[in-house]
Amino acid sequence: MSDQMSNGAEQQQASSLPMHVLAQYVKDLSFENPNAPQSLLPNQPQPQVNIGVDVQGQKVGEDIYELTLNLRCEARQGEAVAFLVELAYAALFQFPGLPEEHHRPVLMIEGARMIFPFARAIVSSATREGGFPPLMINPIDFAELYHRQSAEQAEQPQQPPF
């Protein structure tokens, strides 16, 4: 019973975040399979996958922000590229009632966390349709990524956050 009550309280707290998702969309998607059909022949070595993540936010209207999650996944079999997936997945967010100084961290952390599963599914589907096993990207700590990017930006000349 107490577990149900605490779960309900956690759900209420999470849903009380003043954040609306207005739209989600693929901005750009590319899948390359440059060595097919050789890369798909039986007994090929397991590809070594390198995944790059970049999160960008910008103000696009009165209290409306676009967040773009850029994923680049390159798989190599030895020296040869097995596949390359590049995805720019975006969403529009609005923050009614949230003080403006909190917009950027909420967008870059919570917004990215919200759209990541959709981007992950697109990458997984693209690799599967390309003839490879579905690539399942591990969860990403967007808070740590945000803090790291903020520290790097603090070392550079000051620019407006949006």
Domains of the chain: 17-155 (3.10.420.10)
SS3 149: helix
pTM as predicted: 0.82
Q: Are 62 and 90 in contact (CB under 8 A)?
A: no
The continuous run of DSSP H or E covering 84 comes out as: strand 80-94
Can you spell out the DSSP letters for 37-75?
A: TGGGSTTPPPPEEEEEEEEEEEEEETTEEEEEEEEEEEE
Q: To the nearest 10°, the Cα dihedral for 57, 60, 61, 64? A: -30
Q: What is the pLDDT of residues 53-110, one digit of tens each?
A: 999 999 998 889 999 999 999 999 989 999 999 999 999 999 998 888 889 999 999 9
Distance CA 3, CA 1 (A): 5
Q: What is the pLDDT of residues 9-54, one digit of tens each?
A: 444 444 566 789 999 999 999 999 999 998 888 888 888 999 999 9
Distance CA 56, CA 25 (A): 15
